[in-house]
Amino acid sequence: MISRRRTLSLLAAASSLPALSALSACGPNTAGGGSGEGGGELRIYWWGGDLRNGMTREALDLFAAEHAELPVSPEYSEWTGYWDKLATQFAGGDAPDVMQMDEAYIDSYGTRSSLLDLETVSDVLDLSAMDDAVLDTGRLADGTLVGAPLGVGIFSVGVNPTLLEQAGLEMPDDTTWTWEEFAELCTAISDWAADAGEDVVGFDFFGTAAAELGAWARQSGEQLFPREDETLISKDTIVAYLEYALALVESGATVSPSEQIEDFAAGVEQGRFGNNRAAFHLQFHTQVQTFQAASGSPMQLLRLPARTSGDAQMVNKASMYWSIAANAADPQAAGTLVDFLLRDPEAAKVLRLERGVTAFPELQDEVETVLDENEMVMLDFARQMQAEVVHPPLVTPASGVGFGDELSRLGEESLFGTRPPSEVADELLTLLEGMQPEQ
């Protein structure tokens, strides 16, 4: 499992190096960070599963065919090793030219001046047609654009309809269901599986993820990182979240805490949901494609259950970003590559929706021509949600990057029963209060 504490320490080390810029200039980015005058290779680094890896390399082949003068060196990692490696590269002056960036880290890297202001290469990277509400998620508090959103991801529920059918259960009405009704359904599936001798559970894991707690807070009228006109999550809301996670285990809706941790560590393609052994899984909606491929089942997407029926508080999130290192040897070449990956119609058809529903509306129709029935699940869901999504939460500030790791640690303590939810909630709230950005 990724250690955000390790990532934070590496970032801190990078920011404390007085000669970081000089180190970068002496590293591989100078010899191979762009191909302009230096004739080197553009290094691009991303995370993901096998499906994303293959799609990205195919799109890079298209780029090579059109831009033979800009050779590209691809680098790839699974999520669990990506951030440690990236932080180490930046600390050592060996950062890739173009990198995939996540909402949880973009402020941390950007406020340390590690990422290029993308508007300085607007002559080759044209983001003018992107919806401002999406584009602005790649800006720092001072307005500097350091990330080009790849698309939109929506935190939602993945469901395996085959397992529901086998259990003799109907698809729930996600416009009205609550977390209590969700728990009852998951328990019913687990009970059916136990009686049938099937290694299946209703719900794979819950209680240790920031996206879960963020949604729980939003449905309670609160936020993890509130703006000036918003309210910080309360202790009562955190306690309710932790107690719900415990109740899922006690009812059999989920497996034991140790099995949940093992399942999370197994990854997207080897875990229960990806192997038809869990009926429900919380995810950003574009991940359903990977689960469809891994399981061979016609996975579908549903709104989140709500704390109050009918108030799911669904939001758009920039699925991820392309960013350029501030010390890239050839920023123009890097901008050209990012522009191609974001806006070229043929590249869009190759990349499809795996990284998110494209933030360029005109490309959605292009992509739709190559999507199969399973992939249309993602596009249809995103289009449907646009009529009801609410204002998205604040991008995780640099001061809050470590919260996800702390929630994972403390959530596990609650799940294992080593500390009561009330005590864990007190510590989580104290941590959050200390992580709030300066207004």
User: For residue range 28-71, what is the model confidence (pLDDT) as tens digits?
Assistant: 233 333 333 334 799 999 999 888 999 999 999 999 999 999 99
Confidence band of 292 (pLDDT split at 50, 70, 90): very high
Mean pLDDT of 304-332: 96
Mean pLDDT of 349-362: 88
Confidence band of 178 (pLDDT split at 50, 70, 90): very high
Q: Which of 170-174, 267-271, 287-291, 314-318 has the lowest mean pLDDT?
A: 267-271
Query: Higher-confidence residue: 311 or 360?
Result: 311
pLDDT at 391 (0 to 100): 86
Helices H, strands E: what count in the chain? 19, 12
Cα 242 from chain centre: 22
Q: What percent of the chain has pLDDT over 90?
A: 74
CA distance 5 to 336: 34
Mean pLDDT of 258-284: 93
Query: Higher-confidence residue: 16 or 79?
Result: 79
Confidence band of 439 (pLDDT split at 50, 70, 90): low
CA distance 270 to 78: 13
Bridge-based pairing of strands 155-159 and 278-284 is antiparallel
Check: CB of residue 197 under 8 Å from CB of residue 326. no
Domains and CATH numbers, the chain: 4-150+318-385 (3.40.190.10), 155-316+394-435 (3.40.190.10)
pLDDT at 269 (0 to 100): 76
CA distance 12 to 87: 9
Check: CB of residue 284 under 8 Å from CB of residue 319. yes
Q: Which of 197-206, 233-242, 263-272 has the lowest mean pLDDT?
A: 263-272
Query: Higher-confidence residue: 17 or 268?
Result: 268
Check: CB of residue 434 under 8 Å from CB of residue 427. no
Contacts of 337 (CB under 8 A, 6+ apart): 42, 44, 63, 67, 70, 72, 97, 98
Please provide the average confidence, as pLDDT, over all residues in the chain: 89
Check: CB of residue 42 under 8 Å from CB of residue 73. yes
CA distance 32 to 76: 17
Residue 109 has pLDDT above 70, yes or no: yes
Contacts of 349 (CB under 8 A, 6+ apart): 366, 367, 369, 370
Query: Higher-confidence residue: 33 or 231?
Result: 231
Q: Count Cβ atoms below 10 Å from residue 54 Cβ, excluding itself.
A: 13
Mean pLDDT of 276-304: 94
Q: Which of 271-275, 312-316, 317-321 has the lowest mean pLDDT?
A: 317-321
Mean pLDDT of 295-313: 97
